[in-house]
Structure 1
Amino acid sequence: MKIKRLRAECVACMIKKYIYSYPADAKESEKLEYVKRLLSIMQNADDSLSAPVLLDKIDKLLWDMFKIKKDFTETKRYFNNVMLEKSDAIRKSIESSDDPLLAAIKYTMTGNYIDFGTLNNVDENELQRFLDESYKHPVLPDVYDALKNDLISAKEIVFLTDNCGEVVLDKLLMEQIRKVNPAAKVTAIVRGGDVLNDATLADAKQIDLMSVADVIDNGNNIAGTYEDKLSDEARSVINSADVIVAKGQANFETLRMCGRNIYYIFMCKCNLFAREFSVEKYTGIIVNDKDLK
């Protein structure tokens, strides 16, 4: 059965965000062609495609017509450094809590705020407020217990990363995962190329992610984990995993209802997902793929 991942609200959001992305000095004929081609992408999109896959098509359109590709290199480096500076204090907070694994999970939920795909701007004051209030994220006890038991019993654990800055907190979570299961093989998968502020191998090296996990890239530069474009290595690692932790909305959107033992962890940054999970916007979510409808 084909899984329908595309939502009308996502299409409307993407059109609103990208309809005026052409250069201000472009010819009127070029602007019109761009708008027509953008709308054609949406009109012809298969319902099984997710928003990140369509955004890849839009990125290719902007490059094809105008050679436009926003460079997030400095933004990524900046937010990695911001979170590295905070990491010692956050680690102490995690390790002094009654349940360090749960505390680390809640911090990684907060880290998903650093997302330039969903947000136009990341407010550092808001980020700090969210970090200070990480403990407030609701986590259903049965879901957490299932995740913890799966992590403890797993031989192979895969961690699908998302954004820079956020990945520093992911590293702290991986430290806790290693403590509850020192024998497990932990593999972190980053993007295979630049897209938005998503973490790549270069970004993983900046924060020394290799100290807590084997790190590979997924073979493509689409936000999320689009199975059709995975490298053979990434596909093999994912298929052999006993449990997968998938961070961020893009991984959730591209993988949801895939049938694997995946725990999605992210912050609801759009109204659509806030409604779907019956939470306030900017609330953290943890859900297993088998529990999705």
Structure 2
Amino acid sequence: MQIVPRCFGCFIRQAESVCDVCGVTGRQRSLVLRSVCEVLSKAPLDVPPPVVSDDVYGCIRNELGIDDPYADLKHEYNEQALAHYPACRELIESSDQPLRTALQLAIVGNVVDFGCDTAFDLDASIGAVRELPLSDRLVDTLDAALRKASSLVYLTDNCGEIVFDRLALELIIDRYGPKTIDVVVKGGPWINDVTADDVASVGISSLPSVNIVEVSNGDEGTGMARHSSAFHDFIAGHEVCISKGQANWELLSEKSNIFFFFMAKCPEIASSCNAELGEPIAYLSK
């Protein structure tokens, strides 16, 4: 997906949100927004939105002198999600369709997103998880793919959500036992996206067969650029790819053989996926 006009207003709103979280007002807030506007004035129009977001968030961090503006909120939502872990694990273990239930929980976890202009209630979403629509055919297709696969790449998205990804990964390890699972995280702070420290804090790093792979947050030395051919080749080198979140969809929607799972929180993305705002998106790209 390439940038559309609506994206520019969203970038400004995201900058405002960071200022709100950090308590930035007055002249400093104006300076942050002016700098973001300068970045946007030079932004290419033929790239996916996350490519420009890298520059926008780098600009905000530099202006504020704060490396991780969402650090406290990320920790808070990881802890909140971990409190649900035992009950959610029991939900999966008692299910007659455990893969389906694990995927439903992983999708529900995607409501935790501080980069979108949508309110969310994690507790309510978990309570309604069994009602989340998910195609039996898609679940069966993923089940068949995992049964044959020796390698899986799992593209993470947000903190809080990552606890439900852990549940899905544990099920995959126990039920299918792929030899290699590469879990992709950001190499540095990027909104409330998952970093290596986050996956370690919720127990994913210590799971069998799991390797943590870092991709760039836009800063030099933080990993492969997510829109690079090197990253695309890396994904293609795995037999199964599970992709979480809107940003990964924006970057990879034109690539084939990727299982996408996320909630539609952007009107443009919802429209592209023939869905309503707030609906779950789950499909295998062709």
Would the TM-score normalized by the shorter structure come out above 0.5?
A: yes
Question: Secondary structure at the residue paired with 2:275?
Answer: coil
Matched AA of 1:116: F
Write the distance in 1 (CA, Å) between the matches of 2:167 and 2:29: 49
Q: Relative to structure 1, is the Cα distance of residues 31 and 210 closer, same or farther in structure 2, using a 3 angstrom cutoff?
A: closer
Write the distance in 2 (CA, Å) between the matches of 1:56 and 1:193: 11
Question: Secondary structure at the residue paired with 2:53?
Answer: helix
Corresponding position of 1:203: 198
Post-superposition shift, 1:69?
A: 5.3
TM-score for the superposition, normalised by structure 1? 0.82
Write the distance in 1 (CA, Å) between the matches of 2:246 and 2:60: 23
Write the distance in 1 (CA, Å) between the matches of 2:182 and 2:8: 33
Corresponding position of 2:130: 135
Contact 1:106 1:284 in 2 (8 A): no
Corresponding position of 1:193: 188
Q: Does 1:280 align with 2:276?
A: yes
Write the distance in 2 (CA, Å) between the matches of 1:227 and 1:55: 12
Post-superposition shift, 1:66?
A: 5.3
Structure 2: state its 5+ residue gaps: none
Contact 1:139 1:286 in 2 (8 A): yes
Higher mean alpha-carbon deviation, 129-138 vs 105-114, is at 129-138
Corresponding position of 2:55: 57
Higher mean alpha-carbon deviation, 175-184 vs 194-203, is at 175-184
Identical aligned residues as a percent: 28
Which of 159, 162, 170 lines up with 2:157 in the alignment?
162
Q: Does 1:46 align with 2:48?
A: no
Question: Secondary structure at the residue paired with 1:209?
Answer: coil
Q: Relative to structure 1, is the Cα distance of residues 167 and 40 closer, same or farther in structure 2, using a 3 angstrom cutoff?
A: same
Post-superposition shift, 1:119?
A: 4.1
Structure 1: state its 5+ residue gaps: none
Write the distance in 2 (CA, Å) between the matches of 1:26 and 1:184: 50
Higher mean alpha-carbon deviation, 168-177 vs 274-283, is at 274-283
Post-superposition shift, 1:63?
A: 4.3
Q: How many residues align?
A: 276
TM-score for the superposition, normalised by structure 2? 0.84
Q: Relative to structure 1, is the Cα distance of residues 228 and 34 closer, same or farther in structure 2, using a 3 angstrom cutoff?
A: same
Q: Relative to structure 1, is the Cα distance of residues 184 and 9 closer, same or farther in structure 2, using a 3 angstrom cutoff?
A: same
Write the distance in 1 (CA, Å) between the matches of 2:283 and 2:117: 22
